[in-house]
Structure 1
């Protein structure tokens, strides 16, 4: 989890950099490269969190390196103030091409001949057709140094130019954006790992009969279509995956995924000598704890896996591809909760595949356990905004936590779904007949409101209006340094977070549908729970 980001603006400390484009700004050096800029433009989208009259219009008319920028009166000291924020609106009708919708804030040194050569940059995704506040925290966010030998931004004092760029550079695509309420301030980062205490999805495979019964088809999809041109699977696998009960079923309280040696011809008229099953969960989620109690199959050449893929993967034949497929592997992100190879009996491994490392990935770790194929073990992933922790029976063997997170190494802020399968590799022994991976249960936990304990230190919080339409005002007592707010549905699903260090703040809730929600407020002194009603 990225932790709690508490914000404050103190106009009397260090540099005061702000602009609301209503005549109250301190920025006097606005200019544009390869674009048109208007700092006195009538706000065309007075809605949601921004109903001000004037905004900055940024019009990229096809320049390869279009950006807007301003210079500061003195060099920035990021050890004192480290965060910039902007409000931004981009309409879907004002974008061409296929660039990823994103905004970049870059810091440069205008005193050198080529200011960009030592720049640092933070890139954030944006949502079209809505005002949103984007924060760029050069202390805690993942940043990109153009020069790899440059130090961390907070250790440098050579920055005196700020650039904002929409949808990347080195392209001729058009985009018009509206920007407002630029601010520069200190952020305080408090690390607090989440508590995943609410069971949100599970399958206990409770069928007790010795007779094989099929899986719950409201929870599972049996994927059978090969991913490589309709002919084969990855990794040189030699099996067909089928949707037959012969290869995946429930009996005696466990799921069996059975790899078999048999001649089988699929619907593409391709014949192979082995069959197995590959299951997709019909449930996808972002962040939580996955707990799987399982027993691995036997045999050199068997390759079982309990893993996840981004719900947005464009993999033909997968359950989610038709409805959510937008992104190819590995950019969708893959999380291998556990893998086991029959030719390395009792060694289990976890791995991450993404654009920064795929195929022969370096993002991996494992451990030797006893009796992986004769006893059940509990394989666990704890996935937060900040990191992933992998363990077996409570013993951690790998933590994935890139110090600098970006779209290449951290596509893990979007929903993933579960996959269970047993593959057969080309080195399968001639004497192999069949073997099964057994799963006793799979459980997914997330943070809940149930763990909130009321604390009198937070009773002096004022929420208004309530019921609320688009903006919820929050004010809290002066003896509290900061709070984190989390909004949940009445079923306990986390849907929105915010961070507050100022004594009052307006929270955009225009994205919420009508209904009742719970707001949990947490501070260094305790937590409290509040009901809010959305009109």
Structure 2
């Protein structure tokens, strides 16, 4: 952790003199921590050294009932959002430290700390929290939904008066107790390097009842040599509709207790293991699923290298099997064990660490088997980011990326299955993983190279369903042509415009939901482009 921040500091010096970070281990740049109606200890031994945060020291946040409890810090010069726009922190909220019925959330508020009533300048982003797990939370003041206390204020990304950061757990104007632990506070730039995965390139919505789509999925049923699946699993995978079927818009992968003989082996449990007939490199995967129950069940949503040498796998049958596991790479988007009912995990398997890998993280999902949740992987050339319902619980970003740590610059394919462990509950009969959809997004051609978004032109509120305000701060041109482009680069709207002062108002209600680009072509031949989302 310290090496990461040292590298960040050295890079930041050449870009921007303002470095704002604290890992609470002595190398932070924040020296003005203060607690308002809140106990605070920024040299507290990490009581939950696990998952994504194994550091030694954290900040203890101790609200013992203060009506407006929070912790805060000031910076020496005002924040410059033209260079940076995002704050992040890690937080652990133990259920044992809470009273009352407040929403479990964390707020990050920006204020002008130099005036007598700094809260009057406040802009705030609120994010939900899970209990009893470390999670990483980001606050992007360029893209996230925000609340300005003064509704006439400009969007936070356009303001230059912020110099105070306030962090508040579980809201204000109450007298409930909250204990929380905070670590790795960081202010950084996000928009220039991360690709935008907004183009849906492959999906299955499971909207046809009966057997699964043969054009999308392959049943992997061939037993490995020796007659048993890996990890001591005791099931047969079958290609029967009994174990994988679509009904009412949902895929059901059903694990069952039944005697079944195949390939010369008799087993007492059956299930299904599906391979996608689509493989890709880089993108975002979203799977909305409800998980099975039962000690000994092991459902997974995961990926393997298309080049894996695995007899019976779809891509091996197609002639791509050249590489053994784990050199092919494995990405576990979601794993769940019935013996740990409310916990889901993501993990990476590579030649540098496989099997009982050290590269993993997870979070508690109290309704994993009773409600649907969206399990997401964002895979870029630099990192893997795993989340549930938008809450990040693990990021894999090795400092050195080679064949040992990063066999992830080639195609991978998706797998969906439920395995049965020898520890299966003897009373288990059957349980299903129910999947609403599987979607894969990648960069559109336009988002890669077709358009240059100008950061000096601001659009707000963004997203919007009605009026979009375009703030133009650096041009004397007042008239021109307005063009609306969709993500494929197609021109969908075109009209003349005239700027009123420095602001242009455009109503987007006639557009369908999605991502768009507005290009303003001024009469002198110059142009400016802004990205926006229609809700």
TM-score when normalising by structure 1: 0.49
Higher relative contact order (CA 8 A, sep 6+): 1
TM-score when normalising by structure 2: 0.49
